Amino acid sequence: MVDSEVSDGMVSSPRRRRSAEERRLIVEETLEAGSSVARVARKHGINANQVFMWLRLYRSGHLGGAPASGLTLLPVTVCDDAKPAGGKSVTSDSAGAVQIELPNGVRVSLEGSVDPAVARAVLESLRS
């Protein structure tokens, strides 16, 4: 009797264990302009889902240290005084005026501080 093996043509290879440094470098490669996770994963022979997991770890600072973000936190002090240091009011009731004359002869005047959504709604209603 002859022993035979059935194979689907797939050759399994042992799992590759990547160091935190290797994972970090692969993740940083996905962050470059014009790059995609799928392309980088394919290049390194890794499942894209694994790279997404490493990306989450990287962003949370758990993949070989926190990434350098270039941001600096500044100290903040909360106080009760609502006035700016100069004592002047920051807001103004009259921010200016705009007059628009449409081709059909309708003239629209907006004065003071106008909510952009309201101005858009008025102009769109006059379009027809």
- What is the pLDDT at residue 80? 74
Residue range of the domain that includes 43: 20-59
Q: Is residue 54 part of a domain?
A: yes
- Is the distance from CB of 26 to CB of 20 less than 8 angstroms? no
Per-residue pLDDT tens digits for 77-114 = 777 766 655 555 555 555 677 777 776 777 778 888 87
Half-sphere exposure (Cβ direction) of 64: Cα atoms closer than 13 Å: 15
Number of domains in the chain: 2
pLDDT at residue 14 greater than cutoff 80:
no
Give the domain-ending residue among 59, 87, 109. Answer: 59
Q: Is residue 75 part of a domain?
A: no
Q: Is residue 80 part of a domain?
A: no
Q: Is residue 109 part of a domain?
A: yes
Q: Is residue 86 part of a domain?
A: no
Q: How far apart are CA 45 and CA 39, in angstroms?
A: 10
Q: Is residue 122 part of a domain?
A: yes
Tokens 């470098």, residue located: 25
Structure pTM? 0.43
Q: Is residue 7 part of a domain?
A: no
